Chain A
Amino acid sequence: MSKLPTQQMKGRMIFVLTAMIILGFGTLIVRLFYLQIVMGEFYQGKANRQQMKSISISAKRGTIFDRNMNELAKSATVWTVFLAPNEINADQLNKIADNLSVILNIDRQVIIDKSKNKKSAYETLKKKIEQSVADEVDKFVLDNNITGVHKEEDNKRYYPYENFAATILGFTNDDNQGAYGIESYYNKILSGTPGMVVSAKNAWGSDMPFKYQQMYEAKDGNSIVLTIDQAIQHFLEKNLETAVIEHGIGKRATGIVMNVKTGEILAMSTKNDFDPNEPMKIYDPNAIAALEELDKDSDEYLQALGKSQFEQWRNKAITDPYEPGSVFKLITAAAAIESKTMTPTGVYFNCPGYYEIGGRRIHCWNRSGHGSLDFLGGLMRSCNPVFMMVGGRMGPDTFYKYFDAFGLTEPTDIDLPGEAGNDGLYHTLAALQRSDPSVELASSSFGQTFKITPIQLIIAVSATINGGNLMQPYVVKQVIDKDNNVISTTTPQVKRQVISKESSEIIASMAEQVVSGVGGSGVHSYIPGYRIGGKTGTSEKLDQIEDKNILSFYGFAPVDDPEIAVLVLLDEPEYGSSFGSVIAAPVVGAVLSDVLPYWGIEPHYTEQELEMIDVATPDVTGLKPHAAQSKITASNLKTRIIGSGTTVLKQIPAPQSPIPRGGTVILYTDEESQDRPIQVPNVIGLTGQQANKTIINAGLNIKIDGIALEGNNTVVKSQSVEAGTEVAQGTVIEVELIIADNIG
């Protein structure tokens, strides 16, 4: 009998199988629905995180160029070395600490301490290390099979010329974001936009760029071309540094060089400053000394450190309002000329050394008085009473109208961060009108009792001599992309014309007389061959208890077509004269004597100036004495023959050395005579004429440096060879003359 399943059995079997299939697949379908639909987004994200790898592409920060495309700031890749304490093998800890402390130049104990946090996977050891050091770290790790020491990429900003233009450039912080100066003001343009690459990764964690790759390109930062000229900036910095050291400037010195036709800032500096490569370090010797006296762990130290850092970063040219002093007289003069209140000549004032107004006696810097002066004479000698009287004649309305028109009631909006402006630091029209006669108007007329920033002053004063145009100052000339395509260009902008071209020409010629006229206060900035105009300034710090001054000088050239203007401020000089005419004017003269030939402005000497130029001493060694004499006389020089020989063996000055016209060349004809040196006399403090006579009589040649011998009450400030030094006869002694009277 067959044992085949019955129909009933078959039916039951089919039912069970169907039920199992439905149950099994149903569970799977339900689970699948749950995973794919209900939790789909969650698991998709989780899978992406596991399978996909995203790499941030840092945008390269743009470069900062000077106007001639010299790189002043640029970025490069550096490394951050960090510990992963959770990966460190305890046996290797000492080896890691010993070696990395040497390679990274950090304290060994710091490494030990950081490695103790075993839960951490990231403890920074040192940031921004360069490739050579990173290579050493790699070698140590590989050679010793070290675990738990890693490095990651970072960027570092390089400032190749160290403290060059530091207060303009500023610096970046640890996150490569601009923290100060141009770096801060133009941070958005310079920093660019970071990008990202998202791609699948393989089992070893490396990229599989062919699969699921999505790239968001980083947009590199644009670069910036400054109006700053590297050479002019150097000339300004060099002379400011010399002035800071020579005169013991207590509160830093600042200077601005600008193109008066365009408003471009060609140089701007404040000394002492800092190195943007290490901005946190203190560079001012006085500040360092003060900090050394404090306990490094105290709050007082930290406060003092912060204050010193902030102090050295500040761009004094735009952040520190000050009383402009007599430089402001050019503004008053321009207002008086333009409003027809005054003419340069024709009206005379009397200066007894003071001016009484509103029951107060305000002194001139020259307390003995200037006597009778016209307006031009008042400007040349920087007479305060003359300007108080002129201010009174103008009246408060006219004075304030021009004060405002010259932009002295608002910031200049220069493209640098931290411009202070002078809100609340000047007399309003109502304040000037409050009393009649107005003491405020009188003091304001010669630049005291109100404050403006150096950038406001140079822009305003330049408007008095450039045809009357108040220019918008700027330091960024162009923005360019990484391929040097121009993105934007700044064009010169005239804010308004304040005075007429004719009035401006009058002011320029009056300012020229300040420098080259007899008795002018700016004579120390005179440069032979150039038509220089300018104005001295000695500002009293009226808001301070101590008697402190700021010495300044504004100079420009050429007078007939002004292009370059220089303003220099020396805040609280310790040594030397306390007048801007003596200390600040020579600094501006030195800057202009460097800048003008560089800028392509050729000197044009007058006949008188040509006569003052030294000549090259002819070479007469080896000639017979008479032939030598004849050759030297042909060069308009004198000779003195010493010795009884028949041939010129030696000559003083040496061949091709400079000798003043009409100087004496000493010709030695035997060996014995050469061994008779003479002592250099002391001429410091003598008048120019006395010094000339003393040096010539001693058998030496004199070369005058600074100002001319005649026409001024001059005294010798310094001599090139110290008194008492033994030199050969005929040696040229350079003496520097200054005006005996100090002029404000």
Chain B
Amino acid sequence: MRRVKELTLNMNYQSNAAYDLSIYENKNTQEEIAEEVLESKPYLRVLPKKATVLAARIAVLKTSCALLSVVAIMSVIIYNRVILTEMGAEINSYKKMISKEVSENTRLSSALSSKVSIRNIEESALNMHLSKVDKFQITYVDLSEGDKVQRTSASPQMSLWDKIKISFDEFLAYIGIKTNIN
């Protein structure tokens, strides 16, 4: 402590060109000698000095890192913006391209539809001497066999009047006046 005081004193009087004469004074007491011995122990003098340097270095490192980080983040942000702008432009370009191709597709499909309209197909067919299927090219089959009633053994018994009527109808059919119905 004393040494520190001396140095401080030294500094304080430096500008006034004063001299610290105490260093030339005799060390009178045992206590002063012991104190001096105690003050001269290595750990008491080195530790504060090393911590200060390290702290200073760490501070510099931290500052540098922070600066670097800021610069890096800024760079990344700027780069992102650049990339986004470029990609935006690219997307727009592709969108325009798609729109252009879709429109071209519409135009061409429209032209194609126009060429293959029913009217044009019919005209082309006529020019090739093709014709629609005519009735004479179709064979018509009559699948109907007329209405028939089949009398089975389980049919109701006919009355005498029914038998006379049927016989009379068959007679008329035989002579051609009435069509026989089976």
Q: How far is the CB of B158 from chain A (nearest CB, A)?
A: 34
Which residues in window 7-46 of B have CB below 8 A to A?
Answer: none
Please determine whether A160 and B114 come into contact, CB atoms closer than 8 angstroms: yes
Please report the C-alpha to C-alpha distance between residue A494 and residue B135 in the assembled complex, in whole angstroms: 38
Q: How far is the CB of A371 from chain B (nearest CB, A)?
A: 34
Q: How far is the CB of A73 from chain B (nearest CB, A)?
A: 10
**Looking at the complex, which of B52-60, B83-91, B167-175 is the stretch in contact with chain A?**
B83-91
Q: Which of A131, A158, A206, A610 contacts B100, CB < 8 Å?
A: A131
For residue B102, which residues in chain A have a CB less than 8 angstroms away from its CB? 76-77
Q: Which of B88, B119, B134, B136 contacts A206, CB < 8 Å?
A: B88
**Known A76-B107, A158-B107, A605-B140: A231·B118 in contact at CB below 8 Å:** yes
Task: Report if A302 contacts B (CB, 8 A).
Answer: no
Please report the C-alpha to C-alpha distance between residue A613 and residue B136 in the assembled complex, in whole angstroms: 6
Please determine whether A76 and B84 come into contact, CB atoms closer than 8 angstroms: no
Task: Report if B182 contacts A (CB, 8 A).
Answer: no
For residue A423, which residues in chain B have a CB less than 8 angstroms away from its CB? none
**Known A231-B118, A234-B118, A616-B137: A210·B99 in contact at CB below 8 Å:** no
Please report the C-alpha to C-alpha distance between residue A529 and residue B136 in the assembled complex, in whole angstroms: 13
Please determine whether B136 and A76 come into contact, CB atoms closer than 8 angstroms: no
Task: Report if B81 contacts A (CB, 8 A).
Answer: yes
For residue A160, which residues in chain B have a CB less than 8 angstroms away from its CB? 109-111, 113-114, 117
Q: How far is the CB of B173 from chain A (nearest CB, A)?
A: 21
Which residues in window 236-267 of A have CB below 8 A to B?
Answer: 238
Please determine whether B113 and A77 come into contact, CB atoms closer than 8 angstroms: no
Please determine whether A207 and B103 come into contact, CB atoms closer than 8 angstroms: no
Please determine whether A206 and B85 come into contact, CB atoms closer than 8 angstroms: yes
Which residues in window 285-306 of A have CB below 8 A to B?
Answer: none
Task: Report if A658 contacts B (CB, 8 A).
Answer: yes
Q: Is the interface of B mostly helix, strand, loop or mixed?
A: helix
Which residues in window 150-173 of A have CB below 8 A to B?
Answer: 158, 160-162, 164
Please determine whether B134 and A75 come into contact, CB atoms closer than 8 angstroms: no
Please determine whether B88 and A210 come into contact, CB atoms closer than 8 angstroms: yes
Please determine whether A209 and B118 come into contact, CB atoms closer than 8 angstroms: no
Task: Report if A74 contacts B (CB, 8 A).
Answer: yes
**Known A231-B118, A234-B118, A613-B136: A77·B85 in contact at CB below 8 Å:** no
Please determine whether A131 and B114 come into contact, CB atoms closer than 8 angstroms: no
Which residues in window 29-86 of A have CB below 8 A to B?
Answer: 71, 74-78
| Residue of B whose beta carbon sits closest to that of A238 | B119
Task: Report if A136 contacts B (CB, 8 A).
Answer: no
Task: Report if B92 contacts A (CB, 8 A).
Answer: yes
**Known A160-B113, A207-B92: A614·B135 in contact at CB below 8 Å:** yes
Please report the C-alpha to C-alpha distance between residue A385 and residue B94 in the assembled complex, in whole angstroms: 76
For residue B107, which residues in chain A have a CB less than 8 angstroms away from its CB? 76, 130-131, 158
Task: Report if B6 contacts A (CB, 8 A).
Answer: no
Please report the C-alpha to C-alpha distance between residue A206 and residue B122 in the assembled complex, in whole angstroms: 53
Please determine whether A76 and B118 come into contact, CB atoms closer than 8 angstroms: no
Task: Report if A555 contacts B (CB, 8 A).
Answer: no
Task: Report if A596 contacts B (CB, 8 A).
Answer: no
Please determine whether A615 and B136 come into contact, CB atoms closer than 8 angstroms: yes
Please report the C-alpha to C-alpha distance between residue A616 and residue B137 in the assembled complex, in whole angstroms: 7
Number of residues on chain A facing chain B (CB within 8 A): 33
Please determine whether B134 and A658 come into contact, CB atoms closer than 8 angstroms: yes
**Known A130-B107, A616-B136: A206·B89 in contact at CB below 8 Å:** yes
Please determine whether A71 and B136 come into contact, CB atoms closer than 8 angstroms: no
| Number of residue pairs A-B, CB distance < 8 angstroms | 77
Task: Report if A528 contacts B (CB, 8 A).
Answer: yes
Please determine whether A209 and B100 come into contact, CB atoms closer than 8 angstroms: no
Which residues in window 69-116 of B have CB below 8 A to A?
Answer: 81, 84-85, 88-89, 91-92, 99-100, 102-104, 106-107, 109-111, 113-114
Please determine whether B100 and A77 come into contact, CB atoms closer than 8 angstroms: yes
Please determine whether B136 and A161 come into contact, CB atoms closer than 8 angstroms: no
**Known A160-B110, A614-B136, A615-B136: A209·B84 in contact at CB below 8 Å:** yes
For residue A130, which residues in chain B have a CB less than 8 angstroms away from its CB? 107
Please report the C-alpha to C-alpha distance between residue A77 and residue B98 in the assembled complex, in whole angstroms: 11
Please report the C-alpha to C-alpha distance between residue A131 and residue B119 in the assembled complex, in whole angstroms: 28
Q: How far is the CB of A42 from chain B (nearest CB, A)?
A: 29
For residue A689, which residues in chain B have a CB less than 8 angstroms away from its CB? none
| Residue of A whose beta carbon sits closest to that of B117 | A161
**Known A207-B92, A210-B81, A613-B136: A78·B117 in contact at CB below 8 Å:** no
Please report the C-alpha to C-alpha distance between residue A311 and residue B15 in the assembled complex, in whole angstroms: 115
| Residue of A whose beta carbon sits closest to that of B112 | A160
Q: How far is the CB of B94 from chain A (nearest CB, A)?
A: 13
Please determine whether A74 and B110 come into contact, CB atoms closer than 8 angstroms: yes
Please report the C-alpha to C-alpha distance between residue A465 and residue B100 in the assembled complex, in whole angstroms: 53
For residue A162, which residues in chain B have a CB less than 8 angstroms away from its CB? 114
| Residue of B whose beta carbon sits closest to that of A615 | B136
Q: Which of A161, A210, A614 contacts B114, CB < 8 Å?
A: A161
Please report the C-alpha to C-alpha distance between residue A161 and residue B122 in the assembled complex, in whole angstroms: 14
**Known A77-B99, A131-B100, A160-B110: A614·B134 in contact at CB below 8 Å:** yes
Please report the C-alpha to C-alpha distance between residue A206 and residue B85 in the assembled complex, in whole angstroms: 8
Q: How far is the CB of B174 from chain A (nearest CB, A)?
A: 25
Q: Knowing that A76-B106, A77-B100, A613-B135 are A-B contacts, what are 10 other residue pairs whose CB atoms are under 8 Å apart, sorted by A's residue number? A: A160-B113, A162-B114, A206-B89, A207-B88, A208-B81, A208-B88, A209-B84, A209-B88, A234-B119, A614-B135
Contact surface of A with B, Cβ cutoff 8 Å: 71, 74-78, 130-131, 158, 160-162, 164, 202, 206-210, 230-231, 234, 238, 528-529, 605, 610, 613-616, 658-659
Q: What are the nearest 6 A-B pairs in CB distance?
A: A76-B106, A160-B113, A614-B136, A77-B103, A76-B103, A158-B110
21 sample A-B contacts, Cβ–Cβ < 8 Å, listed by A number: A76-B102, A76-B104, A77-B99, A77-B102, A77-B103, A158-B106, A158-B107, A158-B110, A160-B110, A160-B114, A160-B117, A161-B117, A161-B119, A164-B119, A208-B84, A209-B91, A234-B119, A613-B135, A613-B136, A616-B136, A616-B137
